[in-house]
Structure 1
Amino acid sequence: MRFVDPRIWSLFKSNWQHTLTYWSVFFSFGLCVAFLGPTILDLRCQTQSSLQEITWVFFSQQLFLFLGSSVGGFFSKTLKCSLSSLAVCTLAISVVFAMIPLCHKVVALAVAMAVAGLAMGIIDTIANLQLVRIYQRDSTVFLQALHFFVGLGALVSPLIADPFLSETPCIMGNSTTNDSTPMDHIRQSLGGIPSDTTHTTVSQYPFHTEGEVVTNVSYAFWIMALINLPVPIAVLVLMYKERLIGCVSSTRTRLLDRDELAMRARSSNASTTPAPQDTTNGHSLLSCCHYGEFSGQPFGFVGIHVLGGLVLFFSDGIVGAYEGFVYTYATAEPLSMPHKTAGYLTSIFWAGITAGRLAAIPLSYHFNPSRQLTITQVGVICTFVLLLLFYSSVGFLFAGTLALGLFISGVYPCMLAYTEDLLNYKGCATTFLVTSASMGEMLLQLLVGTAMHSQGSYSFMVCGVIFSFLGLCSYLALLFCWHVYSSQPTGDVEKSTKTESSVDVNEVKR
């Protein structure tokens, strides 16, 4: 079994600069994903706000991340617009990191996190969309690598922040009531969007809001700002190389057109299939109304989008909910794990996601997206069922957390590649799917938090089983929808030769 497919490697070499640029942009995205949880208590001290007030900063970030994902498609009308947006967004992330230490009011901090969330959402949509446009049927490999860098950034960010976190309450009041407060425990408990569970957890800690502020967390944010600064520079270098800066941009063909030609020239079917005209400009949520070759089957076209979006709604929602509440679940009865031991669970989960995406890069050479999706969906639901059955086992919780991260890591990139494959790489599906994933991450955290508050910690795994089952049902419904509509005549488009495991829509004759 070859580790690297020569044809895939040749595609990468012909498009290496912009591919590496998009990967680095997603590393910037990953830095923003995980830094807020560990630093939230120090930011509370900096803004001299209550714990209840500071937890709503999470909601500000997630809400605008969803909005950014929704509008990201509007910024991808041309390659110049896409790269310009990426340059602005990655630079905005560095500026936000640098400005956070200057936010001494919780409202100012919420605004800064809203800007960061908006930039993250736009980055999420555009980077995924551009890689799908460039590599099309081979995009699974490169999307797996793209999402690997999210996990890498999410692992690096807490490591940078850790040396600068306060070990004791960082607002020194007149009393010493809080000197023995378990700071690590509170940080882990604040790892999700604010909900009833969050407010119940933090309300028992009456931290001071007035007094001398003692925290060094500013250095962590300045270091992350410097680490992220090469990313917008890399985007600008790519724009300069492609003559997309200033008036010279109109004198050269777009990079995407050239990349498509280069890709097809190296494909096995390039000699018989002419490169189509570029129809991917200007894709947004509004462009989903144009059915294209599904003009006689609008319900099939809409169904594929909706069902694909539901798969990512549940999978990304599971990631957000598990990351946010696994610590609370582990420290509650019947597990009652020590705070320091339970604190490793989130890191193990992200390590599983990162390792899973890294391992999926070579596996994508040999397994098509539909087969990978089947394995990952079944793996996720089986892991949750076992976690529910062995709910009192500490050892199995650690093993199950790692396994869950490994399985669920491949759903996002495979679903993007597979859905675009079904729809002939129109680009519209990526915008819709990324938006659905952001919505799921925001809403399912609230649902899980509310369920744990009202029904107890046991409902955490019950919710996981339900969400994973609904995700699997959505995927099976997607396969059924495609089977039904691909078997029906659609004018001059022949789909009867396509199979569920490999849908070669690049062979469509217009």
Structure 2
Amino acid sequence: MSIAVLGPTFDNLAANVRKNVSDIYFIFVGRSLGYLGGSVLGGVLFDCMNAHLLIALSMFGTTAGLYAIPWCKEALLLTALMSVIGAAMGVLDTGGNVLVLNTWGAEAGPHMQALHFSFAAGAFVAPLLAKMALGGSNSQGPPVTEQTNHSLLRSVPTAPAATVVPALQHHLSADFLWSYVVIGTYLLVVSVFFFILYSKANSAQEKSQASVQKNMYARYHYALLGLLFLFFFCYVGAEVTYGSYIFTYAKVFAEMKDSEAAALNSVFWGAFAACRAMAIFCAACLYPGTMIVLSLMGSAVSSFCLAFFASRSASLWLGTAVYGASMATVFPSGISWVEQYTVVQGKAASLCVVGAALGEMCIPGVVGYLQGRFHHVPVVMYTALGTSAMTVLLFPLMYKLANCPRKSDCKQVNEGEVCKALLSTSSSPNEDEEDEEDVAEWNEADFEVIEMNNTLRNSVVEISQKRPGDSPAEVSLQSPLDNVLHDPPAVADGSPGTQEEDADQEKHD
């Protein structure tokens, strides 16, 4: 909602800072740079701070920025506020993925799909809120700007422009103020719930979980994350590019009317949102890798049809719907998939989000430049085909790296063989079969107990072999330890009968 509300209220923001729409394009650049910075900063902070607290602070920062935007009268200050909101949303985007993985672990698939479906739901709701806020005064008579301007000119015919503009800005602020206030208040309420979760968080549990995760890194952890960075760069760039330029393509190359081109654009985003909603339930019965393979197959086939058969109307409509549906589940499924093979903490999630953000910034810009140079070439469709081919090639390579055995796995195998050998040497021939069945049930804790018992036994033997001149305090230690080990007191002269009993007891232990 915070991202999508800017579009419907862009004209009002320009009038509020006394600029034309074309003169404040840099606020998008400021927000994008803030988003990248927030994604990187969030990846670092989530590894050393509580996730609930950091998400609550980021949402609180977004709330403050949304409350301040309608009252901002300077373009430079508006850009700074947009950068702050972008940074807070970058932290929130990175932290949301990390928190879902840390909370549900191996069962995070449906929850990750639901998280990313909420993005589409918020983008759908925000324009409706803006339309309701702006439509109340526009429902009767002329638009607000014209009505206000005429009333002011009628009441004060000789009023200078300096007195008209502030009044006009006041009416504009009153119109689109409520959409920002509603969204900001909603975020404020949710941030309060995250503060409550932070107050009830168990830091000891988080530390133990972090210590367990240290031994779960993939063998080629950084290479896998680098390929995933390129994978999301191509995927998100292709998604945003197609959704941004399909309207223009439909009018120029398919010679559609404005209403038909808008309907084609709606088909793409509608299929995208619907498939993300369905993926919440599909993720409960399908592995993330299976969903990625199905999505890549659908995007490859549909982009091929769009690149070479888009001149046919049926192929264009069907290919657009399939392409939108195929692109819907790739990002959340990719996060869930890589978490099965390596640890996805703050820095890893930040790398994925930054790759997606760079693809969203770079690929649409390059396509726009090339489309302006080559007017008769459908650059959008060829870009969709090229990025689909890249993702199809990258995923098998990532799968190969992810399935390489970890070094910790090899170490565990060697330790298991040593433990089995110790058990086999300490048992009698008649007990070999039983010991082999019990080897699988033994772990490191069992052998630590054996070592502790041996240590206690050695201390008992040392105490029992002390000379009569030893102090009463040293001799008094013998009886409690004997009671613990259930052994009779050892004889100082080391008779054969006592040694045989000690050997039998050691074998039993």
Cα displacement (A) at 1:429: 2.5
1:100 aligns with 2:19: no
Q: Which residue of 1 aligns with 2:302?
A: 383
Q: How many residues align?
A: 395
Question: Using CA pairs below 8 Å that are at least 6 residues apart, which structure has the higher relative contact order?
Answer: 1
Cα deviations by residue, 1:299-321 (Å, 9 ceiling, x for unpaired):
x2222111112111111112222
Q: Distance in 2 between matches of 1:159 and 1:142?
A: 26
Q: Which residue of 1 aligns with 2:203?
A: 254
The within-5 A match list for 1:464-479 is 464-479=384-399
Cα displacement (A) at 1:170: 8.2
- Which of 232, 236, 239 is the equivalent residue of 2:192? 236
CA contact (8 A) 1:69 1:438 kept: no
Q: Distance in 2 between matches of 1:43 and 1:323?
A: 24
Cα deviations by residue, 1:194-253 (Å, 9 ceiling, x for unpaired):
xxxxxxxxxxxxxxxxx9658747534523432442333333234335525xxxxxxx72
Structure 1 residue identity aligned to 2:90: G
Q: Distance in 2 between matches of 1:406 and 1:439?
A: 22
Structure 2 residue identity aligned to 1:336: E
Cα deviations by residue, 1:441-478 (Å, 9 ceiling, x for unpaired):
11112112212222236111111111121122111221
Q: Distance in 2 between matches of 1:55 and 1:219?
A: 22
1:128 aligns with 2:97: yes
Q: Which residue of 2 aligns with 1:59?
A: 29
CA distance change for structure 1 residues 241 and 83 in 2, over 3 Å: closer, same or farther? closer
Cα deviations by residue, 1:391-416 (Å, 9 ceiling, x for unpaired):
23455444433322221111111100
Q: Which residue of 2 aligns with 1:176?
A: none
CA contact (8 A) 2:63 2:187 kept: no
Q: Distance in 1 between matches of 2:412 and 2:305?
A: 45
Cα displacement (A) at 1:255: 8.8
SS at match of 1:382: helix
**TM-score, with normalisation over the residues of structure 1?**
0.69
Structure 1 residue identity aligned to 2:84: V
**Which structure 1 segments of 5+ residues have no match?**
1-30, 173-210, 245-251, 259-275, 282-290, 496-508
CA contact (8 A) 2:275 2:329 kept: yes
CA distance change for structure 1 residues 69 and 112 in 2, over 3 Å: closer, same or farther? same
- Which of 307, 330, 334 is the equivalent residue of 2:250? 330
CA distance change for structure 1 residues 455 and 119 in 2, over 3 Å: closer, same or farther? same
CA contact (8 A) 2:35 2:87 kept: yes
Structure 2 residue identity aligned to 1:133: N
Q: Distance in 1 between matches of 2:210 and 2:371?
A: 49
Q: Which residue of 2 aligns with 1:76?
A: 46
Q: Distance in 2 between matches of 1:425 and 1:280?
A: 13
Q: Which has the higher helix share?
A: 2
CA distance change for structure 1 residues 38 and 321 in 2, over 3 Å: closer, same or farther? farther
- Which of 265, 287, 292 is the equivalent residue of 1:368? 287
Q: Which residue of 1 aligns with 2:5?
A: 35
CA distance change for structure 1 residues 494 and 233 in 2, over 3 Å: closer, same or farther? farther
Q: Which residue of 2 aligns with 1:86?
A: 55
CA distance change for structure 1 residues 241 and 63 in 2, over 3 Å: closer, same or farther? closer
CA distance change for structure 1 residues 228 and 42 in 2, over 3 Å: closer, same or farther? closer
Q: Which residue of 1 aligns with 2:112?
A: 143
State the Cα RMSD in Å.
3.6
The within-5 A match list for 1:351-500 is 351-394=270-313, 396-426=315-345, 428-456=347-375, 458-483=378-403, 485-486=404-405, 491-493=410-412
Q: Distance in 1 between matches of 2:301 and 2:379?
A: 17
Cα displacement (A) at 1:370: 0.6
CA distance change for structure 1 residues 494 and 315 in 2, over 3 Å: closer, same or farther? farther
Instruction: Compare CA radii of gyration and give the structure with the larger one.
Output: 2
Cα deviations by residue, 1:76-110 (Å, 9 ceiling, x for unpaired):
23563x22222222223233223222233332222
Q: Distance in 2 between matches of 1:476 and 1:487?
A: 18
CA distance change for structure 1 residues 239 and 405 in 2, over 3 Å: closer, same or farther? same
Structure 2 residue identity aligned to 1:477: L
Cα displacement (A) at 1:157: 1.0
CA distance change for structure 1 residues 341 and 158 in 2, over 3 Å: closer, same or farther? farther
